[in-house]
A and B are shown apart, each in its own frame.
Chain A
């Protein structure tokens, strides 16, 4: 197995450093202290974690009230319960008045939900949040990238949504260009599937296809100035994400690319219970599918 490091633990480390330097930073939890491995943080700052219980809509509104009172709330919940159940609160009471609130959605992606099944497999969050004006949408590649994204969220004024993983997240690397073997094909990915994309690039190298892999950890706004030269010169453009190909990274890249894009991700269907490894193969968010996409005529 590839090396793993928890994006949740990384998030809490980064949040702790923000809490140390800025006493306006607070965590708003929808029964997510344990989920986010924040028990030690809660012991250290018992009065700066607002626990709202299993009540995402209310948690977002409480964060809105805290932000209106001058705090910088970090709302923590499962990605889907947050972005689907509290979607309207995030849109109308946070994005519309442009409040300075950061949202971290755990367990994002089919492979994070694993054996829990569809109820806990969240593959719509990027699309939902991208559709809301005013949100910055982030998807770090791995744990170390999560730390960078927590700080980026802090430095970005206004509402930010960041998806993170299950806690057993592959180490991918934090660079924008993860592989630069050539222009036969380009894979633009986000999150854990980038590990598969790197694997595909390594396997293909010297076997007739030299490809480039980009870590697209900012899904909105897309860095068009950075992406477009790669998109223009690549033989093929492929996207890879653990999210519905509709409205996710694949959809976002199609909006700017102006050319055919082969989208790898969940093909607008519901998955099922299984291990992350089984799921990514059955639903073809794996290196094999990426190799096929690069080499198929």
Chain B
């Protein structure tokens, strides 16, 4: 497993791959992928017990990307981890590709759950975590949601069930970048006080800077007992690429040649810095 500095570098390598993928494929959601990059780096290169040579290994830890439109971040982590060849990146969203527009558990090695219809990941993760308990297995389930998708009621249905079943093998991370497709999460969806809500539903709640790998790792590895964990990660939409940060125009979009060059220069400076 990597140390915090190596994880931060991996987060930026994921960002570099996100830009590469979307630029080459000419489609995708860059900004919501960039906000999740450090979290995904900490999961796949910090805590998760997985084996790219055996993507269906029964005892692996599981990850669900509930905010499925951020799949370039997941595909980049899987590519860098060695699940498939990174030369497939340009096929993102193209006919016959294993890299579907939203994650597909039957097409992409390493994807543990189909996702992309927002609001459903926590409930699927709850089922997986109940399954692990029923099997007497020690593998863990991680799920990353957006903040906007917490408007969907199924999250709260599942939160109740997860607390009822005392799922201390379940970790929810909220990519709290404050923006959804139509604008501010607070103004559009009215989703406020996320930590307080999950605490009220019986989760052990942590709040971290979602771009500080030492804070993310501390929360991911903090022991909990008898209840599920929720890590509210404060993030910046578009993080790492100056002109995409805090700019919701990049919720979905493809950088032109000049923007691509700028983004790569900035990210490579972070990787090599």
What is the interface of chain A, defined by CB distance below 8 A to chain B? 26, 47-48, 50, 52-53, 55, 57-58, 60-71, 88-89, 92-93, 96-98
Contacts and interface: CB of A to CB of B under 8 A. Distances in A.
Contacts of B123: 57-58, 60-62, 64-65
B134 interface: yes
Contacts of A52: 157, 161
12 contacts: A53-B164, A55-B154, A58-B126, A58-B154, A64-B123, A64-B124, A65-B124, A67-B127, A68-B113, A93-B113, A93-B117, A93-B124
A61 B126 contact: yes
A88 B106 contact: no
B158 A69 contact: no
Q: Is the interface of B mostly helix, strand, loop or mixed?
A: helix
A68 B128 contact: yes
A89 B158 CA distance: 13
B104 interface: yes
Chain B CB within 10 A, most for which of A62, A65, A68, A71: A65
A230 B34 CA distance: 61
A276 to B, nearest CB: 32
A64 B129 CA distance: 11
B117 A65 contact: no
Contacts of A57: 120, 123, 153-154, 157
B128 A65 contact: yes
A126 B141 CA distance: 35
B55 to A, nearest CB: 13
B127 A64 contact: yes
Interface in B132-150: 132, 134-135, 141
A65 B106 contact: no
A65 B126 contact: yes
Nearest to A30: B157
A63 B134 CA distance: 13
The 4 closest A-B pairs by CB, nearest first: A65-B127, A69-B131, A61-B123, A58-B157
A67 B131 CA distance: 8
A97 B114 contact: yes
Nearest to A62: B127
A76 to B, nearest CB: 15
Given A52-B157, A65-B131, A70-B58, A97 B124 contact: no
B213 to A, nearest CB: 28
A92 B121 CA distance: 12
Interface in B166-183: none
Nearest to A63: B127
B112 interface: yes
Given A52-B157, A61-B127, A92-B120, 9 more contacts: A47-B134, A57-B120, A57-B154, A65-B123, A66-B130, A66-B131, A68-B62, A69-B62, A92-B114
B160 interface: yes
B156 to A, nearest CB: 9
A46 B142 CA distance: 26
Nearest to A73: B127
Interface in B96-127: 104-106, 112-114, 116-117, 120, 123-127
A55 B130 contact: no
B120 A89 contact: yes
Contact of B135 (A55, A68, A69, A98): A69
